[in-house]
Amino acid sequence: MPTGKARGKSLHIAVAQDIGARILKGEFAPGTLLPNEAEWCRVYKVSRTAVREAIKTLSGKGMILSRPKIGSRVEPRSSWNLLDRDVLTWYSASVNYERFAREVQQIRFMIEPEAAALAAANRTPEQLAEIEAALADMIGSQDAVAWNIADVRFHLTILNASGNELIVPFGRAIESMLAKLFEFTVAQRLNPRDALSLHEAILKAIRARRPEAARKAARNLIADTQNTINRAARREKQKRRVLSR
């Protein structure tokens, strides 16, 4: 919980993050009237100014509606800006992993194969070089952290190379979600490098300007990730059955 002694970030941002996370976890349900400024000041040991800025931040993300003499009320989930990077981060931490992975994978299946096909048709030499560099960093990585950073970059550079300017900010929005997903799947694999050939197939298709091949290669990679998720889910269920005996 942030306090007046918080370091490294603005106090109002720390307060907004904590309240936002609590809303997403269900501590404050939609329609709930939030504590007033004085109560938040006591809870977080910050000034009214910091609380007001935090409330303003959450209002801007569609999570709460603040009205004079009434207070701040949690908005319906349909009003929340789930593509906001902060909200996405709080969301991914608030739901169970199985649901999180399923929803991220659904988004990936809808977006990434078509983005790869567009990249094969529209990429510039500079963009191709960025995709190649990301894959090279994956190959040269010495640990899971470096691998995941390069892996996320590989996927984002493909979105950037699609030629569709509306896809680019979407990629930035889901960056943290991809990072969390890949962190999990890499930990579940006996040898994460087994997926390199699937990444290389996407790159080769983009390099050769073959949209359909790029689309198919992207689908294969996402399907492979889904297989890893499914295996992990089966292991977890088996473990729960054993423990319940």
Q: What is the pLDDT of residues 89-120, one digit of tens each?
A: 787 777 777 888 888 899 999 999 999 999 99
Q: Is residue 64 part of a domain?
A: yes
Instruction: List the CATH number of the domain containing 189.
Output: 1.20.120.530
- pLDDT at residue 2 in the model: 54
- pLDDT at residue 147 in the model: 94
Q: Same structural domain for residues 103 and 222?
A: yes
Q: How far apart are CA 136 and CA 199, in angstroms?
A: 11
- pLDDT at residue 5 in the model: 44
**Range of 56's domain?**
11-79
Low-confidence residues of the chain: pLDDT under 70: 1-9, 190
- pLDDT at residue 3 in the model: 47
Q: Is residue 154 part of a domain?
A: yes
Residue 77, classified by CB atoms within 10 Å of its CB into exposed (0-12), middle (13-18) or buried (19+), is: middle
Instruction: List the CATH number of the domain containing 15.
Output: 1.10.10.10
What are the pLDDT digits (tens) for 24-62? 888 999 999 999 999 999 999 999 999 999 999 999 999
For the chain, the straight-line distance linking the first and the last C-alpha, in angstroms and rounded, comes to 38
